[in-house]
Amino acid sequence: METIRVQMTRELLFDFLLYHTYSKASGVLVNMLGLGVAAVGGVMQAMGQIKTGQLALYLLAAAAYRTEQGAADTVVHYLRKGNKGAAVMEERRQAILRELEEKGKVRVADLSKELGVSEVTIRNDIKSMSAEGLLKRTHGGAVSLEQNMARKYRAETVYRHVEWKKAIAACAYEYIADRDTIIIDDASSSFYLALHIKSHPEKRVAVVTNSLLVGNELAGIDHVELYMIGGYVGGHLAASMGESAVENMEHFHVDKGFIGVHGINFEAGLTSIATPQMQVKKAILKAAKEVYVLADSSKFGGGYLSVICPINAVYKIITDSHVSKENIAIAKEMKVPLVIAKE
């Protein structure tokens, strides 16, 4: 015995009812028969063979026949497809959430083109997802919920491996000279470097950053000269990214750059989670004389699809003391400039 579960909504039922009633051969035939019944009733009423009340019965019979056949076709279609429709819808919803996670906002027209479905379908998805509290509807699209962004910011990034990141930040600070000009990106490890700079006034530093969080910490600090990179703001940690941010960053030439990565793969290189972040990190590689990677030991191995650069293209990789002996040995063998911070 095979069990089939079908997830049905009014919108989907209506769509398929229209499709099967008006597009398939059987639906066309049913429509013709229904119209035929109605036409016969009209002719007979015109010839005086039936009364107006009897004509109404003909019309009701025609309408009932068409509706019954259309509904039957819809049920058969769902029984044949099983869970496929629900699975496709769920996959589409997940794609929308991934876009929101990466960019912070989405447009119906863009999603329609990317996912290969109608704008009506995307609007229905956004409407139902908004009702479920997954996003906030806007005119022509949707944006991420601020509380979701804050939750991810607090729990999943900045407050993970705090002591490791503080040690890495303290170590990175030792490479900064008085009156250096530096770039700090929007990574969580870079955020801790900004906090360390803030609490150590013995060095005057000019800081360029695309991170709103870093900018918020360093704004108004006497020993910091702050420059913000403009552009579209998105991502978990609220930072400017994309083409406008890259173009803005091209105007800067600094002594040192400090970036975070999502993965360190000895074969593939330094990797990022998505193209917008990768573009900014590549721009920092061009703008800085020396680039330091701030990455805790959990970043080693695996990686993401977007490769920032080969592993030997940076000046130093600073990590914590929990990095495995195996990774230390590989780095030594490949002559990777690995620095281990002391806690």
Q: Are 50 and 186 within one domain?
A: no
Q: Which amino acid type is present at position 330? A: I
In this structure, what is the dihedral angle of CA atoms 145, 164, 255, 225, given to the nearest 10 degrees?
A: 60
The CA angle 93-106-157, to the nearest 5 degrees, is 80
Q: Are 131 and 191 within one domain?
A: no
Residue 126 half-sphere exposure, CB side, CA atoms within 13 Å? 26
Cα 221 to Cα 267: distance, rounded to the nearest angstrom: 41
Query: Which of residues 11 and 110 earns the better pLDDT score?
Result: 110
Q: Closest by alpha carbon to 282, among 251, 250, 254, 312? A: 250
Q: Are 206 and 59 within one domain?
A: no
Q: Are 262 and 188 within one domain?
A: yes
Q: Which two tokens stand for residue 87?
A: 């699975």
Q: Are 162 and 305 within one domain?
A: yes
The dihedral sign for the CA sequence 115, 118, 119, 123 = negative
Q: How confident is the model at residue 34 (pLDDT cuts 50, 70, 90)?
A: low
pLDDT at position 75 over 60: no
Query: β-strands 269-272, 254-259: how paired?
Result: unpaired
Cα 223 to Cα 206: distance, rounded to the nearest angstrom: 8
Q: Are 135 and 164 within one domain?
A: no
Each residue's pLDDT tens digit, 269-278:
998 876 677 8
Confirm if 77 and 16 have CB atoms less than 8 A apart. yes
SS3 53: helix
Q: Which two tokens stand for residue 32?
A: 């013709």
- Domain total in the chain: 3
Average of pLDDT values for 109-127? 92
Lowest mean pLDDT among 68-72, 142-146, 165-169, 187-191: 68-72
Q: Closest by alpha carbon to 301, among 321, 330, 336, 342? A: 330
**pLDDT given for residue 238 in this prediction:** 84
Q: Write the DSSP symbol of residue 61.
A: H
pLDDT at position 149 over 50: no
Each residue's pLDDT tens digit, 321-342:
999 999 999 999 999 999 999 9
Cα 84 to Cα 107: distance, rounded to the nearest angstrom: 26
Q: Are 302 and 169 within one domain?
A: yes
Q: Are 69 and 202 within one domain?
A: no
Does 88 fall in a domain?
no
pLDDT at position 245 over 70: yes
Q: Which structural domain range is residue 40 located in? A: 10-81
Confirm if 226 and 260 have CB atoms less than 8 A apart. no
Cα 81 to Cα 76: distance, rounded to the nearest angstrom: 9
Q: Are 67 and 103 within one domain?
A: no
Each residue's pLDDT tens digit, 280-298:
999 999 999 999 999 999 8
Of 57, 81, 105, the one marking the end of a domain is 81
Q: Are 14 and 159 within one domain?
A: no
**pLDDT given for residue 194 in this prediction:** 96
Q: Where are the beta strands (DSSP E) in 175-334?
A: 181-184, 205-209, 224-228, 232-234, 239-241, 254-259, 263-265, 269-272, 288-294, 306-309, 316-319
Q: How confident is the model at residue 62 (pLDDT cuts 50, 70, 90)?
A: low
**pLDDT given for residue 231 in this prediction:** 87
Does 249 fall in a domain?
yes
